[in-house]
């Protein structure tokens, strides 16, 4: 069971199968998945992919958290993740994804900051990484505001990304 990572504005709670349809609907928006490799165009593979990630085992303290606003607690607005890099580790990936209508209000940054504190203070991870497409300016901005630094290029699932990293000792920005 993952701990809640609630913030002043947000309810950030373990993602469950109850969020499956909301997650699929979010991913079907091409604006949302524009910079992310995945089986978005194949409904069967897409559902299997998300279901697997919802039901597989993650190491203690890792997984996905769904985001809702305290002002509208029934409405799914996205998720943040902290999972083994490429499914296996040893690095741990941090990530964020929101429905289009929730962009631009600081929600991803607020949820990600709570997640970084969890990663370093509770799970005691030495570092977290994120692979971000160089055209994904909003996501790059979220990463940089957390204090993440670019460490080099990364290829994943046939897509070119930039790898960003935040080391626990360097945590100053949040």
Ligand X SMILES: CC(C)(COP(=O)(O)OP(=O)(O)OC[C@H]1O[C@@H](n2cnc3c(N)ncnc32)[C@H](O)[C@@H]1OP(=O)(O)O)[C@@H](O)C(=O)NCCC(=O)NCCS
> Measured between alpha carbons, how far is 131 from 153 in angstroms, rounded to an integer?
8
CB 158 → ligand X: shortest distance, Å?
16
Rule CB under 6 A: is residue 108 a binding residue for ligand X?
yes
Contacts of 144 (CB under 8 A, 6+ apart): 164
Sole binder of ligand X in the list 96, 118, 125, 127 (CB under 6 A): 96
Rule CB under 6 A: is residue 132 a binding residue for ligand X?
yes
Rule CB under 6 A: is residue 114 a binding residue for ligand X?
no
> Burial, 144: exposed, middle or buried (Cβ in 10 Å; 0-12, 13-18, 19+)?
middle
Looking at the chain, which runs of residues are DSSP E strands?
10-14, 63-69, 72-84, 92-98, 127-132, 149-156, 159-167
In order of 6, 109, 138, 140, 142, the CA distances from 104 in angstroms are: 19, 10, 9, 14, 11
Which 59-88 positions form the footprint of ligand X (CB under 6 A)? none
Rule CB under 6 A: is residue 32 a binding residue for ligand X?
yes
Sole binder of ligand X in the list 5, 83, 98, 148 (CB under 6 A): 98
Sole binder of ligand X in the list 73, 87, 89, 106 (CB under 6 A): 106
Rule CB under 6 A: is residue 104 a binding residue for ligand X?
yes
CB 148 → ligand X: shortest distance, Å?
11
Binding residues vs ligand X (CB under 6 A): 32, 35-36, 95-98, 103-109, 132, 136-139, 141-142
């Amino acid at each position: 069971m993952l701990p809640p990572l609630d913030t002043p504005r947000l309810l950030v709670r373990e993602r469950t199968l109850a969020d499956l349809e909301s997650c699929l609907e979010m991913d079907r928006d091409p604006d949302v998945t524009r910079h992310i490799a995945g089986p978005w165009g194949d409904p069967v593979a897409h559902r299997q992919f998300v279901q697997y990630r919802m039901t597989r085992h993650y190491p203690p303290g890792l997984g996905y958290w769904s985001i809702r606003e305290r002002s509208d607690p029934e409405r799914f607005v996205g998720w943040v993740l902290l999972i083994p890099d490429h499914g296996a580790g040893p690095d741990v990936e941090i990530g964020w994804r929101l429905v289009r209508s929730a962009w631009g209000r600081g929600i991803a940054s607020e949820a990600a900051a709570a997640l970084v504190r969890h990663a370093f203070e509770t799970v005691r991870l030495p570092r977290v990484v994120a692979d971000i497409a160089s055209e994904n300016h909003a996501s790059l901005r979220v990463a940089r505001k957390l204090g993440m630094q670019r460490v080099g290029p990364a290829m994943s699932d046939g897509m070119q990304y930039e790898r960003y990293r935040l080391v626990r000792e360097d945590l100053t920005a949040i």
